[in-house]
């Protein structure tokens, strides 16, 4: 075989499920969530968490609203044992939270696990053994009966140890590890045998957790397996069916979601998907997926940045800037058409209507993110983004014809200095290019009178040290000034478009005005900001005239 040869691998077997029902269902409520951050997440770290780190992550998990938390493998490591003791001895487990611990189906480990839990009010003891063909044949070297015997023996040890600690409310959980690579009839057979040992009832159910320990098929195959399991397991009413998917193919969340459609009640996973190899089901993603569909996720994810901070401090792992829902860049648009659509939708979005914003599947405010980050400008951006930034940060509502011109200026700037052009730089480019009322021509003063229904202006201008008084008249002050300029310069000038708006509180100026002139057949725009609503448009005309006389690069 060649070094990179696909013939080395076999496709995962499908199961022949007749009349599968899961494709026709939708998820309309949150599952029972169980965090395995402090166990599966922890066992995957280069440097497992210290007791102090576990304490901090525990706090975040409780604040987030997890009611079932696997806190470790106390028979395996001293920090895990000490952490469990800290939770119990320091009375750190809220009344509505149940701790869970993992153990292999080995007697001495099970005994130590129950010792670690001594005095706990309620706990889930989770025992597992592997059932897949490759594990049976190559790891355990046992046949089907032999592997089933390990499971049953483990189940019996749990029942025996629980009876020795009658003051605790015990919940039993069994995982046929590598379930998704196990023959389904055999997985059901093993779990049925475990149920026989535990005799759960609807009042006192147990948990059967179905892991895709290594994800090796498309998520629909996992859904088929879960539906098969749910419809073939005995005592279904006495069993909480849980799933525990890993992300080897990048579909852990999809597999867990489809498993819910297929009948699962409970989902195990971790914050941000930490866990063995490519990780576990990312519960933040899965809960946010529900939230974005209008389903209460029953987890409080309103402060993801806090979660990310503690997660990173405890695991030593970064969070990708494009991580679903919570990455630093996921609510940021650089590209022009996205920015344009976002700006238009945000302007139309009413506070009490369902969210309808293109490219933003949820409102970033819900996660404590602000609109500052939504639109950022680089060489991929267009006029919409530039206009959005100027309005958001400076209250400037520049008209469309000026947006087009300014976007070109910003684009050139971003190409000459690659990377993001920040809001202050865009504002600087706007002022430099369009607000040009000072040079070469400057307005020293003006006076407007109304005579015979027309505005008559007398404007005092200076240019290169020479002062002149210009006179003109028109329908309004703007056209009167244009008339005065035409009489003085002999140029043919007309006003093509004009807009003005008041500026919000907190700015020095009260008004912003924008004009588009036609000067001897050439279109030129100008803008001005002024305390006075009449002076602003007059100065905007001067800005435009100055741009004809001296383009920005010369003036700068």
Ligand X SMILES: CC(=O)SCCNC(=O)CCNC(=O)[C@H](O)C(C)(C)COP(=O)(O)OP(=O)(O)OC[C@H]1O[C@@H](n2cnc3c(N)ncnc32)[C@H](O)[C@@H]1OP(=O)(O)O
The C-alpha atoms of residue 152 and residue 193 are separated, in whole angstroms, by 6
- For 449, counting Cβ atoms within 10 Å of its Cβ (0-12 exposed, 13-18 middle, 19+ buried), the class is exposed
Binding flags for ligand X, 112-131, as an x/- string (CB under 6 A): ----------------xx--
Distances (CA, A) of 132 to 104, 354, 463: 16, 47, 89
The C-alpha atoms of residue 14 and residue 225 are separated, in whole angstroms, by 9
From the list Mg ion, ligand KIV, ligand X, none, partner contacted by residue 150 (C-beta under 5 to 8 A by kind): ligand X
Nearer to Mg ion, 40 or 500 (CB): 40
The C-alpha atoms of residue 318 and residue 266 are separated, in whole angstroms, by 28
From the list ligand X, Mg ion, ligand KIV, none, partner contacted by residue 281 (C-beta under 5 to 8 A by kind): none
Q: How far is the CB of 58 from ligand X (least distance, A)?
A: 18
The C-alpha atoms of residue 371 and residue 368 are separated, in whole angstroms, by 10
Query: Where are the alpha helices (H) located in 349-476, listed in sequence order?
Result: 383-394, 400-416, 423-434
DSSP character string of 199-238: ---SSS-EEEEEEESS--S-HHHHHHHHHHHHHHSTTGGG
Q: Which two tokens stand for residue 147?
A: 């592997």
352 within 8 A of 385, measured Cβ to Cβ: no
Nearer to ligand X, 75 or 220 (CB): 75
Chain contacts with ligand KIV (rule: CB under 6 A): 40, 102, 128, 175, 177, 209, 211, 213, 244, 246
Is 518 annotated as belonging to a binding site?
no
Q: How far is the CB of 82 from ligand X (least distance, A)?
A: 15
* Residue closest to Mg ion when measured from CB atoms: 40
Binding flags for ligand X, 241-260, as an x/- string (CB under 6 A): --------------------
Can you give 50-69 as a three-state secondary structure string?
CHHHHHHHHHHHHHHCCCEE
Residue in the block written with tokens 């013939």: 7
Half-sphere exposure of 219 (CA within 13 A, CB side): 23
**Sheet holding 441-451: strands in order across?**
441-451, 454-463, 466-474
From the list ligand X, ligand KIV, Mg ion, none, partner contacted by residue 175 (C-beta under 5 to 8 A by kind): ligand KIV
Is 40 annotated as belonging to a binding site?
yes
From the list ligand X, ligand KIV, Mg ion, none, partner contacted by residue 76 (C-beta under 5 to 8 A by kind): ligand X
* One of 30, 49, 99, 150 touching ligand X (CB under 6 A): 150
Q: What is the dihedral of CA 50, 52, 53, 54, to 10 degrees?
A: 90
Stretch that binds ligand X, among 98-106, 292-300, 362-370, 421-429 (CB under 6 A): 98-106
* One of 86, 140, 334, 498 touching ligand X (CB under 6 A): 140
Nearer to ligand KIV, 246 or 436 (CB): 246
Is 365 annotated as belonging to a binding site?
no
Nearer to ligand X, 123 or 457 (CB): 123
477 counts as binding ligand X under rule CB under 6 A: no
Can you give 250-305 as a three-state secondary structure string?
CCHHHHHHHHHHCCCCEEEEEHHHCCCCCCECEHHHHHHHHHCCCCCCCCCCCCHH
The C-alpha atoms of residue 232 and residue 345 are separated, in whole angstroms, by 49
Q: How far is the CB of 187 from ligand KIV (least distance, A)?
A: 13
From the list ligand X, ligand KIV, Mg ion, none, partner contacted by residue 106 (C-beta under 5 to 8 A by kind): ligand X
Is 118 annotated as belonging to a binding site?
no
From the list ligand X, Mg ion, ligand KIV, none, partner contacted by residue 209 (C-beta under 5 to 8 A by kind): ligand KIV
Q: How far is the CB of 164 from Mg ion (least distance, A)?
A: 29
* One of 20, 25, 56, 106 touching ligand X (CB under 6 A): 106
DSSP assigned state of 38:
I
* One of 30, 37, 38, 40 touching Mg ion (CB under 5 A): 40
DSSP assigned state of 445:
E
Nearer to ligand X, 86 or 140 (CB): 140
Sign of the alpha-carbon dihedral angle for 382, 387, 390, 391: negative
Stretch that binds ligand X, among 100-108, 257-265, 321-329, 540-548 (CB under 6 A): 100-108
Region of 465 (left: φ > 0; alpha: ψ -120 to 50; beta: rest) is left
Count of positions on this chain that bind ligand X (CB under 6 A): 16
Q: Which of 437, 432, 425, 435 is nearest to 386 (CA)?
A: 425
Distances (CA, A) of 452 to 48, 81, 241, 474, 475: 88, 95, 88, 11, 11
Binding flags for ligand X, 161-190, as an x/- string (CB under 6 A): ----------------x-------------
Question: Within positions 191 to 220, which residues make up the interface with ligand X, using CB under 6 A?
Answer: 213
Q: How far is the CB of 80 from ligand X (least distance, A)?
A: 8
Q: How far is the CB of 278 from Mg ion (least distance, A)?
A: 11
Stretch that binds ligand X, among 24-32, 103-111, 160-168, 448-456 (CB under 6 A): 103-111
SS3 540: helix
Q: How far is the CB of 149 from ligand X (least distance, A)?
A: 11
Q: How far is the CB of 49 from ligand KIV (least distance, A)?
A: 17
Stretch that binds ligand X, among 105-113, 461-469, 487-495, 522-530 (CB under 6 A): 105-113
Q: How far is the CB of 2 from ligand X (least distance, A)?
A: 32
Nearer to ligand KIV, 180 or 499 (CB): 180
What element of type H or E holds 129? strand 122-130
Question: Within positions 26 to 85, which residues make up the interface with ligand X, using CB under 6 A?
Answer: 40, 43, 73, 76-77
- For 227, counting Cβ atoms within 10 Å of its Cβ (0-12 exposed, 13-18 middle, 19+ buried), the class is buried
Residues that bind ligand X (CB under 6 A): 40, 43, 73, 76-77, 104-106, 109, 128-129, 140, 150, 177, 213, 276
Annotated binding site: 40, 244, 246, 280
Annotated binding site for Mg(2+): 40, 244, 246, 280
């Amino acid at each position: 075989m060649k070094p990179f040869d696909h013939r080395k691998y076999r496709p995962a077997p499908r199961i022949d499920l007749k009349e599968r029902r899961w494709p026709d269902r939708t998820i309309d409520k949150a599952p029972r969530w169980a965090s395995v951050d402090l166990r599966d997440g922890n066992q995957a770290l280069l440097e497992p968490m210290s007791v102090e780190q576990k304490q901090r992550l525990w706090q975040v998990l409780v604040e987030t609203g997890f009611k079932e938390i696997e806190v470790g493998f106390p028979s395996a490591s001293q920090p895990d044992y000490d952490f469990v003791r800290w939770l119990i001895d320091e009375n750190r487990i809220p009344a509505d939270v149940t701790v869970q611990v993992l153990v292999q189906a080995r007697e001495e480990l099970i005994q130590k696990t129950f010792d670690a839990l001594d005095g706990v009010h309620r706990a889930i003891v989770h025992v597992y053994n592997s059932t897949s063909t490759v594990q049976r044949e190559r790891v355990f070297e046992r046949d089907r009966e032999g592997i089933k015997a390990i499971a049953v023996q483990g189940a019996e040890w749990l029942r025996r140890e629980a009876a020795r600690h009658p003051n605790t409310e015990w919940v039993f959980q069994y995982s046929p590890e590598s379930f998704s690579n196990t023959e389904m009839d055999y997985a059901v057979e093993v779990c049925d045998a475990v149920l026989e040992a535990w005799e759960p009832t609807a009042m006192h159910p147990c948990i059967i957790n179905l892991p895709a320990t290594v994800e090796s098929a498309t998520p629909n195959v996992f859904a088929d397996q879960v539906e098969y399991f749910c419809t073939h397991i005995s005592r279904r009413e006495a069993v909480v069916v849980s799933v525990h998917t890993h992300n080897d193919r990048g579909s852990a969340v999809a597999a867990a979601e489809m498993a819910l459609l297929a009948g699962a009640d409970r989902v195990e996973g971790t914050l941000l998907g930490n866990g063995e190899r490519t990780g576990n089901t990312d519960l933040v993603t899965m809960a946010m997926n529900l939230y974005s569909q209008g389903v209460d996720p029953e987890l409080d994810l309103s402060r993801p940045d806090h979660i990310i901070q503690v997660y990173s401090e405890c695991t030593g792992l970064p969070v990708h800037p494009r991580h679903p829902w919570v990455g630093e860049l996921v609510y940021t648009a650089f590209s022009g058409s996205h920015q344009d659509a976002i700006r238009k939708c945000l302007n139309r979005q009413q506070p009490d209507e369902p969210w309808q914003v293109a490219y933003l599947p949820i409102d970033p405010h819900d996660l404590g993110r602000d609109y500052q980050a939504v639109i950022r400008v680089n060489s991929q951006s267009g006029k919409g983004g530039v206009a959005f930034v100027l309005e958001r940060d400076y209250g400037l509502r520049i008209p469309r014809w000026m947006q087009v011109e300014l976007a070109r200026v910003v684009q050139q700037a971003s190409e000459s200095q690659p990377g993001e052009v920040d809001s202050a730089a865009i504002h600087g480019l706007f002022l430099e290019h369009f607000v040009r009322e000072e040079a070469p021509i400057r307005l020293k003063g003006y006076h407007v009178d109304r005579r015979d229904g027309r505005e008559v202006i007398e404007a005092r201008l200076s240019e290169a040290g020479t002062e002149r008084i210009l006179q003109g008249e028109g329908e309004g002050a703007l056209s009167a000034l244009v008339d005065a300029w035409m009489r003085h310069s002999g140029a043919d000038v007309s006003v093509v478009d004009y807009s003005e708006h008041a500026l919000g509180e907190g700015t020095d100026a009260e008004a912003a005005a924008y004009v588009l002139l036609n000067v001897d057949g050439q279109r030129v725009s100008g803008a001005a900001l002024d305390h006075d609503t009449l002076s602003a448009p007059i100065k905007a005309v001067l800005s435009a005239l100055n741009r004809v006389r001296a383009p920005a690069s010369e003036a700068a």
